[in-house]
Structure 1
Amino acid sequence: MKKEIPVEGMSCASCAISIEKTLKSSPGVKEASVNYANHAATIEWEEQSVSLEELQKKIQSTGYNLVINDVEAQEQEEINREAYLKIKRKTLYAGILAFPVFVIGMFWMHMPYGNYVMWALTTPILLVFGNQFFKNAWIQTKNFSANMDSLVAISTGIAYLYSSFNTFFPSFLEAKGLESHVYFEAAAVILFFILLGKTMEAGAKAGTGEALKKLMGLQPSDLVVLENGSEIIKKTADVKLGEKILIKPGQKIPLDGKIIEGESYVDENMLTGEPIPVLKTVNSKVFAGTINQAGSLVFEVEKISDDTLLSQIIARVKSAQGSKAPVQKLVDKVAAVFVPVVLLIGLLTFVTWGFSGVEESWLRGMLAMITVFVIACPCALGLATPTAIITAMGKGAELGILIKEAESLEKGVKIDSIVLDKTGTITEGKPKVAEFVSTGNCDELDRKAIYNLEKKSEHPLANAIAEYFQEGDISIENFKSITGKGVQGFLEGQTYRIGNLNWLKDEGILENPELETKANHALEEGYIVVFAAKNEQPLGFFKIADLIKETSKEAISNLKKMGIEVHMLTGDQHKTAALIAKQVGIPNFKAEMLPQGKSEYIKNLQLQGRKVAMVGDGINDSEALSVADLSIAMGQGTDIAMDIAEITLVHSNLNDIPKALNLTKKSIKIIHQNLFWAFIYNIIGIPIAAGVLYPLFGFLLNPMIAGGAMALSSVSVVLNSLRLKK
């Protein structure tokens, strides 16, 4: 058996690794991978050797839980949303309480009853709003491991207990000539900032099911089946192969099949990404999730729910999201070694001082141990990443670049190839008239006739032609639309026709070899050609295309200068794709691609060792976006593309891609600098706190100075992060 199962209780990437190790070590489990990104485990196991219930009990014993009962997607989404709202509330309340603690601890430390006020405000931060860190630290301890939660719990816990003792029993140290300093501000601020980081992460996770939910929503739940001349409403899931389905104008097609009656234009944008609906006649194939336009259709079901092209896209998107195992955070990796080392140093410090023979040796040893734990407190470490991320996200938003989560910044640094969707990404995303090639006989009345004919037409290209002329309203007589051919009408005794050349010839329009030669040349360049005629005389033809955005060529040139290889994929015909690729300077392109083809193209690039970013705007791009190393959506695209994407370009401007990649590089550089200084600070500070300078210089670091040094390191990290604003 192989199944994806939701996991509860994970708080960081190392939790996922811990659960994965537990599962892999279980007898009967052939393969297991745990994805912290979507809080799920993909397990392959032998049913005769082990049951899901047994695996659940084993995981529960480590402090986590496998949700083995099938949960509806909507319910799971609600669970994720509730978890996000819960941690958001905790962060808000912790921030409200931490602010006055910080102000008192840093500026008004000698105010009357200040310690008691700070104790009262800090206690709920630790015991109520930040209790998850202590729970997770205990789970890690039971499993002989450590992570960032362990570091946070130990340092803030010791700072809190030491400060509480000095608040209620200050005379104990003062009687021995030592100052009873407190560190409530350190504990409160650390927990608030780390909660803030967790909130940002949970916010990104809360919407992970949204994209799949919207994809599933493209398939109607009910449909009309024709049986013995009667219309019967059925659930889509209950329909069988061979049944005949009636689709009325404006309805979504629920399943894959073949048309047996009627003709209509069908919007297949979700599959091909192309904005121009396709004419469907008898024997044409139709696909679930596409939208019928004007006419009624009857089709015979050839693929039921789980086998449709749409269902396959959903399955592959889900699989691609689940296969992206996140890289374990650097801080968690360090914490796994750092926590035990700090504890060992602290205990050695205490014991060494205790047997040193100096006056009050054990008390001094205890203070030195506490100073080690305080100076090792991961304030700078905890702030290093969140402050840089918050600043980078703010700067990105200012530039119209929305970054979903921190991991997106890491991925952006490594990108060496970019795959661009054509329609809506390089081009405007809707058909427009590039030029009207006239015979010279088209006057103002003719333009008005064409404009008013197209205003009445339901043809997908009618709006483009009407927008091009935009003349005044005139009443057209005897308007007639012939599906797949064109439209005609009468104005002031003249007969006007707009449509394809073969139909016009059938209607007796005189041939014009020069005009037809120009039209053939336009077709070879990838344009759509629509002719207009008055009586028996041709007036000219419209060259219609999805026009290139003004900024696309410049953006692609900038990407090349950055050493990034650019590719273009499209569902459009080869001629059109070749024309667009040539105009914007893209040597690598592929046309007539379905969603699976796009994702396979990206996988092939990845097999060559390339780190690939995918830029798209439509449902048809969702699978490719999921597979790519970094996914970027255009802000004017579909909600599904934006839900899946890790970066969204609000202005739908390709020039923002180089800006986004530069921002990721600078952000990661700042984060690495922050982590470097945080670690250097600990490497230098811990030995001094332990008392290595005492034998030589008689210097022993005061816990109060340790707290100040810790605060200074945090300030330096914040100031370094703020450089991103420039």
Structure 2
Amino acid sequence: MGKSRIILPIEGMSCASCAATVQEALTSATGVASATVNYATAKAAVDYDDAETGVAELIKTVRMAGYDCGQASVTFGVEQLHYAPSVASLEQALGAVNGVLRAAANQATETVTVDYVPGTTTAEALERAVEQAGFHVAEPIPTEDPVERERVARRREVRDLTWRFALAAAVAVVAMLGSMLLMAEQPDTTFKQVDLLGRLLMPLALRLHDTLAGRFAPDPQWLKLGLAVLTLPVVAWSGQPFYRGAWSGFKHRTADMNTLIGVGTGAAFLYSLVATFVPGVFTRAGLPADAYYEAVSAIIALILLGRLLEARAKGRTSEAVRRLAGLKVKLAHVVRNGRETDLAVEAVVNGDLLIVKPGEKIPADGIVTEGASAVDESMLTGEPIPVAKRIGDEVIGATLNTTGSITFRATRVGKDSALGQIVQLVEDAQSTKAPIQRLADRVAGVFVPIVIALAIAAFVVWFDFGPEPAVIFSTIALVTVLIIACPCALGLATPTAILVGTGKAAEHGILIRSGEALERLSRVRSVLLDKTGTITEGKPTVTHIVAAKRPDGTPIAPAEVLKWAAAVEQRSEHPLAAAILKAAKDKQVDILPVEKFALMEGRGIRGTVDRRIIEVISLRHARERSLELGTLGPDADRLAAQGRTPVIVVVNNTVYAVIAISDPIKPTAKDAILQLQRLGIGVTMVSGDSRKGAEAVAQEVAIEVVIPEVLPSQKADLVKKLQKRGGHVVMVGDGLNDAPALAQADVGIAIGTGTDIAMEASDITLIRGDLRGVVTAILLSKRILRTIRWNLVWAFGYNVVLIPVAAGALYPFTGWLLSPVLASAAMAWSSLSVVLNSLALRRFKPAWAA
């Protein structure tokens, strides 16, 4: 038991204030360390102590706040359950799985039904729990795909909003015509002359009245009754989500967007009903018994239209994740008990043997055990040329097998696969918030109460100081302020931009872990580049073996040098070790066993081989120890000046040879570095190589500042020094040897290869290994932050400017008030414009691809 994290899908949120309410409720719950609620994705990321609380308690907290969590259910068969003495252990084991809410076993039908939070558990986890309880699953468990579930939910939401809007819009058109006839009956009504929309519609109303004169002369009272009957289904059904949300907020003592819309339209509708059925209340007071049914239906229709367009647009913000998840294979050819069978990919487990035929996608990550083929890995690497695969090679799930048939053993499936990790990292990033969002969150938390207070203040001022009929002016001001206020734009400003931006980054092989990393990256001033595997390919090869001579003058054979060097290097994980081992293998050198192996950080390795002490060390360390290099010293310097890395092979304290290793520079490295410099970013290269070797590589890629002969443990100190000079520092490395420096940097960028995706020390992972990804990440982060700032300026500016206008601030100067109908149109546009502005990020292209 300990720290856990879960992503909860939240239902019922309609604005940023809702998200703030849920976040506050979760944060204050027992056992919760932190909680972040994202309105754009409708998800809550919760870090909690599972010894103090659980998923069921977290969901209860959400429900007590007036909202709900998405829930799914699956039923599957369990063998021999009918004969089990008790099912308590089975239910308990399943209930302990993260994300499971309830497990109920039925011995009569030999089935188990599990209720769970979508996206939090897998079929493999459920099957493992069943096995631990001593039972066996009859057939593979068909757990629901969370991405598909989200797509279906979004489609259902769009369909529901479409029908609600269609009814409200149809009624609004008819109600508007009826209202125009009523306006024409009383063209001199004071409010009709000062209401902006009324002023615009009055000429049309008079023309409509004149056209119908003599043909159709409706009684105003019957017309009001007809409009009341027409508007009732709009309020009862089309506007139901607003009123239900407002009532829920009232019960839980919270206020959100639904409160504003519900109170605003509800007040207008009740006022109209009184004017229709009890007009004497107004006429006895000398007030006109005006009805505003067209305003009620038009407001609801326009707000529903805004939500409909917003839902469609928000669906497009997460399409990058859907495209990634869509790469997943549905079926796999699995060999079990010597027989090939087709199973859903969710049923594949680690260790399974899988067959992939030409033209099929590989269903999981694994190691080839039989056959040979060429695999198109462009999905992951961006390289269009298929990669040859033989026995012992690694294959990656969702890549395309092009030619031969291969059999491989699954090593990572489902969420643990490379594709699963990519999707998870992108989703995690999209559930985070950038620090720039904090102000918007604080405002959203108090926005609705402030708006309600302003609306009441507007009502009081108009009632006390406004022209007659004061009650009508004050009511309209109240309704207009409530309708025009929009916390939605505040809640969408940051997350929609992060949603689209991180998805776009993933398309270019850039995995960003958080919105915070994005914001820091946009302010980067200097970049620290590791040499091996970052600037170079990370695939070193032996180019020269310069051997010493024996005492009798005969040269030591290269095969003997490799025999001793490869023996100790077989225990090393350094890239240079792989080069020496490959050279030994190519020359068919037998590799001897090694004892007493020791790693000397930054200096080399040593071990005992065949009773000899063998060392493979750096040139610098050899000179520090004053080893006799003889003629090998100048040779080593010459090779280093050519950009190669010389290592010294020492046997029993005697220098045997210099092995020169070359690591080719990536073709795009120089272009990437020049682009960074054009952006005004300082570039520094760090390397453990000698000064001559490091400077040779730096010169080739146009880097002026080089720090050579650096131990891995010293790189973090270098980052600290750069940070003290001011500005944000980015460290780019391999994610393994450079982990301390990556963690110390303001933004750590790891160069990933193959299935090595989830590098914990890094903030960003470049899965394609192309250094131009650093430039793309920086440019994209700047674009995302610029989009967020514009969104926030619009969201704040809209409310700051238009709420006073809605309250009647311009009336003394213009003589008109803003209509509630126009206010609803403005409110709908405000949130939609933020989403559309964020969607513009989809058009982003890297500088090198433009």
For this structure pair, what is the TM-score category when the shorter chain's length is used for normalisation? 0.5 to 0.7
Greater Rg over alpha carbons, structure:
2
Deviations 1:429-471 (A, max 9, x none): 35422456799xxxxxx99999999999963567525646986
The correspondence of residues 136-147 of structure 1 with structure 2, limited to 5 A, is: none
Letter in 1 for 2:639: A
The correspondence of residues 240-639 of structure 1 with structure 2, limited to 5 A, is: 326=435, 329-332=438-441, 335=444, 342-356=451-465, 358-435=467-544, 459=570, 460=572, 463-465=578-580, 467=582, 517-519=634-636, 521-522=638-639, 527-529=645-647, 542-570=659-687, 577-591=694-708, 593=710, 597-636=714-753
Deviations 1:597-640 (A, max 9, x none): 43333233222222212223324433433332223222339969
Q: Does 1:716 align with 2:716?
A: no
Secondary structure at the counterpart of residue 816 of structure 2: coil
What does residue 70 of structure 2 align with?
89
Q: Out of 257, 262, 280, which is 1:160 matched to?
A: 262
User: Residue 183 of structure 1: CA displacement?
Assistant: 3.8
- How many angstroms apart in 2 are the aligned matches of 1:415 and 1:134? 48
Is the CA contact 2:569–2:580 (under 8 Å) kept in the aligned structure 1? no
User: Residue 563 of structure 1: CA displacement?
Assistant: 1.0
Q: Does 1:659 align with 2:755?
A: no
Letter in 2 for 1:720: N
What does residue 235 of structure 1 align with?
none
- How many angstroms apart in 2 are the aligned matches of 1:531 and 1:603? 35
User: Residue 679 of structure 1: CA displacement?
Assistant: 3.1
Would the alpha carbon gap of residues 328 and 673 (structure 1) be closer, same or farther in structure 2, given more than 3 Å must change?
closer
Would the alpha carbon gap of residues 172 and 687 (structure 1) be closer, same or farther in structure 2, given more than 3 Å must change?
same
- Structure 1's unaligned 5+ residue stretches are 23-33, 40-66, 139-152, 204-323, 440-445, 489-496, 503-510, 533-537
Is the CA contact 1:186–1:379 (under 8 Å) kept in the aligned structure 2? no
Deviations 1:28-86 (A, max 9, x none): xxxxxx997999xxxxxxxxxxxxxxxxxxxxxxxxxxx9xxx97x8699879988x98
User: Residue 98 of structure 1: CA displacement?
Assistant: 4.5
- How many angstroms apart in 2 are the aligned matches of 1:359 and 1:451? 102
- How many angstroms apart in 2 are the aligned matches of 1:411 and 1:346? 39
Would the alpha carbon gap of residues 115 and 423 (structure 1) be closer, same or farther in structure 2, given more than 3 Å must change?
farther
Is the CA contact 2:719–2:741 (under 8 Å) kept in the aligned structure 1? yes
Letter in 2 for 1:421: D
What does residue 686 of structure 1 align with?
803
What does residue 764 of structure 2 align with?
647
- How many angstroms apart in 2 are the aligned matches of 1:681 and 1:430? 55
Q: Give the paired residue count.
A: 507
Deviations 1:224-282 (A, max 9, x none): xxxxxxxxxxxxxxxxxxxxxxxxxxxxxxxxxxxxxxxxxxxxxxxxxxxxxxxxxxx
Would the alpha carbon gap of residues 94 and 637 (structure 1) be closer, same or farther in structure 2, given more than 3 Å must change?
closer
- How many angstroms apart in 2 are the aligned matches of 1:554 and 1:75? 52
Is the CA contact 2:672–2:775 (under 8 Å) kept in the aligned structure 1? yes
- How many angstroms apart in 2 are the aligned matches of 1:370 and 1:573? 75
Is the CA contact 1:126–1:191 (under 8 Å) kept in the aligned structure 2? no
Secondary structure at the counterpart of residue 731 of structure 2: strand
The correspondence of residues 171-186 of structure 1 with structure 2, limited to 5 A, is: 171-172=273-274, 176-179=290-293, 180-181=296-297, 183=300, 186=303
Would the alpha carbon gap of residues 78 and 343 (structure 1) be closer, same or farther in structure 2, given more than 3 Å must change?
closer
Secondary structure at the counterpart of residue 759 of structure 2: helix
Is the CA contact 2:543–2:660 (under 8 Å) kept in the aligned structure 1? yes
Deviations 1:270-314 (A, max 9, x none): xxxxxxxxxxxxxxxxxxxxxxxxxxxxxxxxxxxxxxxxxxxxx
- How many angstroms apart in 2 are the aligned matches of 1:81 and 1:655? 46
What does residue 625 of structure 2 align with?
none
Secondary structure at the counterpart of residue 568 of structure 1: strand
Is the CA contact 1:396–1:403 (under 8 Å) kept in the aligned structure 2? yes
Secondary structure at the counterpart of residue 760 of structure 2: helix
Letter in 1 for 2:767: V
Would the alpha carbon gap of residues 447 and 419 (structure 1) be closer, same or farther in structure 2, given more than 3 Å must change?
closer
Deviations 1:389-441 (A, max 9, x none): 222222212222222333333222211111223333233335422456799xx
Letter in 2 for 1:157: T
Q: Normalising by the residue count of structure 1, what TM-score does the alignment of the two structures yield?
A: 0.55
Q: Out of 142, 154, 158, which is 1:99 matched to?
A: 158
Would the alpha carbon gap of residues 454 and 698 (structure 1) be closer, same or farther in structure 2, given more than 3 Å must change?
same
- How many angstroms apart in 2 are the aligned matches of 1:618 and 1:106? 52
Is the CA contact 2:477–2:808 (under 8 Å) kept in the aligned structure 1? yes
Would the alpha carbon gap of residues 123 and 599 (structure 1) be closer, same or farther in structure 2, given more than 3 Å must change?
farther
Deviations 1:346-376 (A, max 9, x none): 2221002222464553354233222112211
- How many angstroms apart in 2 are the aligned matches of 1:500 and 1:596? 18
Is the CA contact 1:556–1:585 (under 8 Å) kept in the aligned structure 2? yes
Q: Normalising by the residue count of structure 2, what TM-score does the alignment of the two structures yield?
A: 0.48
Would the alpha carbon gap of residues 499 and 330 (structure 1) be closer, same or farther in structure 2, given more than 3 Å must change?
closer
Would the alpha carbon gap of residues 14 and 685 (structure 1) be closer, same or farther in structure 2, given more than 3 Å must change?
closer
Would the alpha carbon gap of residues 485 and 95 (structure 1) be closer, same or farther in structure 2, given more than 3 Å must change?
closer
Would the alpha carbon gap of residues 422 and 716 (structure 1) be closer, same or farther in structure 2, given more than 3 Å must change?
same
- How many angstroms apart in 2 are the aligned matches of 1:447 and 1:596? 33
Is the CA contact 2:668–2:771 (under 8 Å) kept in the aligned structure 1? yes
Would the alpha carbon gap of residues 471 and 591 (structure 1) be closer, same or farther in structure 2, given more than 3 Å must change?
closer
Would the alpha carbon gap of residues 519 and 414 (structure 1) be closer, same or farther in structure 2, given more than 3 Å must change?
closer
- How many angstroms apart in 2 are the aligned matches of 1:451 and 1:570? 25
Letter in 1 for 2:259: G
User: Residue 698 of structure 1: CA displacement?
Assistant: 4.8
Deviations 1:486-536 (A, max 9, x none): 999xxxxxxxx999999xxxxxxxx9987775345336766234789xxxx
- How many angstroms apart in 1 are the aligned matches of 2:594 and 2:756? 34
Would the alpha carbon gap of residues 624 and 463 (structure 1) be closer, same or farther in structure 2, given more than 3 Å must change?
closer
Is the CA contact 1:125–1:191 (under 8 Å) kept in the aligned structure 2? no
- Structure 2's unaligned 5+ residue stretches are 9-16, 38-46, 63-67, 72-117, 119-149, 172-229, 278-289, 322-432, 549-556, 598-605, 620-627, 651-655, 844-850
Is the CA contact 1:98–1:121 (under 8 Å) kept in the aligned structure 2? no
- How many angstroms apart in 1 are the aligned matches of 2:660 and 2:672? 26
Is the CA contact 2:435–2:519 (under 8 Å) kept in the aligned structure 1? no
Deviations 1:633-656 (A, max 9, x none): 223399697334332222121111
- How many angstroms apart in 1 are the aligned matches of 2:739 and 2:52? 21
Is the CA contact 1:455–1:463 (under 8 Å) kept in the aligned structure 2? no
- How many angstroms apart in 1 are the aligned matches of 2:544 and 2:251? 69
